Amino acid sequence: QRIYKKAGQEAQTYKPAVYSVCKAGLLGLTKFLAAYYMDTAIRVNLLTPSGVWNKHDTEFAGNYSARTILGRMSAKEEYHGAIIFLVSDASSYMTGANLVIDGGWTAL
């Protein structure tokens, strides 16, 4: 069995603190559950997407895109491969991990 969750990797200073706390909590929960299920066939991983395009206004999209190495927001379809990887046997040696797909946002 496989469990994956998604959450943000970077600190959010422009939203209420509860948003950042909840997202950071998902990473802790992922690691806890991976350890909790260590004697089973269950693997638990986290997928952290960032900047998924959803008809945002031009100013927001431009500002966001300028903060990524790839210079754009992602399309939701760009996460399909990662999800398939996480739920397949290709990730059989992966548990308690956070797979960040953010167009280079956290590298800058």
Among the options 14, 19, 36, 64, which is catalytic? 19
Is residue 19 part of the annotated active site? The answer reads yes
Place of tokens 């996480």: 86
Return the CA Rg of the chain.
15
Structure tokens at 7: 């959450």
Provide CB contacts within 8 A for 37, sequence distance 6+. Answer: 43, 44
Look at residue 74 and give its three-state secondary structure: strand
Cβ pair 65, 73 in contact under 8 A: yes
Q: Which residues are catalytic?
A: 19
